[in-house]
Amino acid sequence: MTEQEMTVYVLSDSIGETAESVARAAISQFEMNSEFVRVERIPFVHSRERVDEALERVDRSERNLIVYTLVVSEVLEYMEQRCSEEGIPTVDIMGPLMVALRTVLGREPRQEPGIIHRMDERYFRRVAAVEFAVRYDDGREPRGFLKADVVLTGVSRTSKTPVCMYLAHREYRAANYPLAPEVEPARELFLVRNRVIGMTIAADQLRAIRRERIRRLGLNRPSNYDDLHRIHAELRHASSLFRELGCPVIDVSNKAVEETATTVLEILREGEWRGGGRTDG
């Protein structure tokens, strides 16, 4: 063994990524060949028994250091006691910061292992849900409906897209499909009918919304898009399809996006909705 060789043991009550990253960052500040400092991660040290198992892996014949991020005080104190008795040096990465936060905030930490990684998992699920909503927006790739938690359908300008994005930020994979009398509905709607929710709206309000849309686009010529007779025909067609699908229907008239999305969530949570459930995985 050369003069510089040693092992840094990374102990964590979760997976140990945080402690390992800090350890490697510190090691990189020393001018030496990285092969002389070995880093060994020992995750899920969440009990006294696991502390004993971890310390059995420490090679007493070489120089070593234990770096840890243990948040349960009983386990931490036991590990410190064992290391003190055996002369193994330790570095507590999270402890000093938690003490400072406790002093400033005036409250006790939860001492719950792995919280940061569960938060990371939620973040990535949310990102995946947003990407899903974008990919399967406005009827694109209806085969994606088979992987959706919910499919919103209705005529144009019934808040389908913004509601899908709202749901995505709550980790639901939401797709939407626009309806028009001239277009045969995608067969996938019938394959996932237990996950479909219809959206309807009062004809006069839909006309006003569409007229505002036309104005913003700078289109002044007459349009079938905001014709009241056409709108009534679209809504009748949508209502007929909703009956055929047997799906719940939400009237979005005079409702904010948040209010509509909350209604969707209530439907989804009622007994995981008619056996449809979440499509996790």
Q: Is residue 157 within 8 Å of 209, Cβ to Cβ?
A: yes
CA 51 to centroid of chain Cα atoms: 32
Residue 164 included in any domain: yes
Count of domains observed in the chain? 2
Domain identity same for 76 and 133:
no
Specify the amino acid at residue 57: R
Look at 104 and 189; give whichever has higher pLDDT.
189
Domain identity same for 233 and 149:
yes
Residue 256 included in any domain: yes
Greatest CA separation for the chain: 88
Domain identity same for 152 and 186:
yes
The model's pLDDT over 180-239, given as tens digits with 9 standing for 90+, comes to 999 999 999 999 999 999 999 999 999 999 999 888 888 877 789 999 999 999 999 999
Domain identity same for 91 and 137:
no
Domain identity same for 141 and 105:
no
Q: Is residue 263 within 8 Å of 152, Cβ to Cβ?
A: no
Q: Is residue 209 within 8 Å of 156, Cβ to Cβ?
A: no
User: Please, which pLDDT band fits residue 281 given cuts at 50, 70 and 90?
Assistant: very low
User: Please, which pLDDT band fits residue 33 given cuts at 50, 70 and 90?
Assistant: low
pLDDT at res. 111:
62
Q: Which domain holds residue 89?
A: 6-113
Per-residue buried b or exposed e for 177-202, using 16+ beta carbons within 10 Å of the residue's own CB: bbbeeeeebbebbeebeebbbbbbbe
Token pair recorded at residue 255: 């409702």
Select from 92, 113, 134 the last residue of a domain.
113
Domain identity same for 124 and 32:
no
Select from 61, 80, 113 the last residue of a domain.
113
The model's pLDDT over 131-163, given as tens digits with 9 standing for 90+, comes to 999 999 999 999 999 999 999 999 999 999 999
Domain identity same for 87 and 165:
no
CA 180 to centroid of chain Cα atoms: 33
Residue 280 included in any domain: no
Q: Look at residue 62 and give its three-state secondary structure.
A: coil
Domain identity same for 59 and 94:
yes
Q: Is residue 58 within 8 Å of 79, Cβ to Cβ?
A: no
Select from 113, 136, 165 the last residue of a domain.
113
pLDDT at res. 280:
43
Domain identity same for 102 and 211:
no
Domain identity same for 19 and 98:
yes
Domain identity same for 155 and 188:
yes
| Reported pTM | 0.59
Domain identity same for 184 and 90:
no
pLDDT at res. 3:
52
**How far separated are the first and last CA of the chain, in Å rounded?**
48
- Give how far Cα 168 sits from Cα of 38, 83, 107, Å: 42, 47, 33
CATH, residue 176: 3.40.50
Residue 1 included in any domain: no
Specify the amino acid at residue 270: E
Residue 229 included in any domain: yes
